[in-house]
Amino acid sequence: MKCPFCENSDTRVIDSRPTEEGHAIRRRRECDVCGKRFTTYEKVEEVFFMVVKKDGSREAFDRNKVINGMLKACEKRPVSMADIESVASEVERSLNNMMEKEVESSVIGEEIMRRLKDLDEVAYVRFASVYRQFKDVNTFVEEIEKMLREGKKK
């Protein structure tokens, strides 16, 4: 690993720690020439995949879109940024585990909603209303009644 300060390629690891629930490793390094320290992260390279949208168009998966959608749904709710990041990581990991080159946007939406339902029910209904394009109040009521029925089964 090259030193970002002097560009020397002789650096050594002085500390390693797992991060992101063990899915990455944080390494503190020290340059043998200039003596400065810096941090690097090592993680498994994720499989690149395309998202097939409802209109048939395709675009590269963008984790930030997942986070931004959840941020809107969780606005003014007791959901931390760490929780949102965690859900985004779980969704991305789940999609990567499918080992598909193309994933329907509906699959991504359902993955997000499944996790939001456990995290915050209000955020779930907000996300579902946009994702499923609720047309009127009755659709909201139907989704809430469905959620209440499922809650009684548990």
Do residues 67 and 83 touch, judged by C-beta distance below 8 A? no
What pLDDT shows up at residue 20?
Answer: 64
pTM: 0.62
| Tokens of residue 96, six digits | 């990567």
List the beta bridge partners of residue 20: none
Pick out the chain residues at pLDDT < 50: none
Q: Please return the burial class of 95, using the count of CB atoms within 10 Å of its CB with bins 0-12, 13-18 and 19+.
A: buried
SS3 128: helix
Q: Where are the alpha helices (DSSP H) in 62-120?
A: 63-73, 81-97, 105-119
What pLDDT shows up at residue 61?
Answer: 92
